[in-house]
Amino acid sequence: MSMVNIGIDDAIEMLSHAHPITKEYEEAFRCAVECMKFTRDFLPLNAAPERVKHALNLLNTLEYIAKEVKV
């Protein structure tokens, strides 16, 4: 089996132009693209699991703040 290496910008481009079958998949693709755009500058695709865990904690914290704080 051969592995294909794809950069985050290429992945974003591909998913941004994908044609999902259902509205649920369309929303999932949109969320994935937004997450990749947000994290691409500080979380490379080959990041260590510990770094990924810290990034997810940061994203969860930001999401909590956005929901709880009326801006």
Cα separations in angstroms, 57 against 10, 21, 36, 46, 52:
25, 31, 15, 18, 9
* Range 21-33 burial, b when 16+ CB lie within 10 A, else e: eeeeeeeebeeeb
Handedness of CA 19, 25, 27, 30 (dihedral sign): negative
pTM exceeds 0.85: no
pLDDT tens digit at each of 71 positions of the chain: 455 667 778 888 888 888 888 888 888 888 888 888 877 766 666 666 777 777 778 878 877 877 777 65
Q: What is the pLDDT of residue 2?
A: 53
Q: Give the number of other Cβ atoms within 10 Å of residue 64's Cβ.
A: 10
Q: What is the pLDDT of residue 3?
A: 57
Q: What is the pLDDT of residue 25?
A: 83
d(CA 18, CA 54): 29
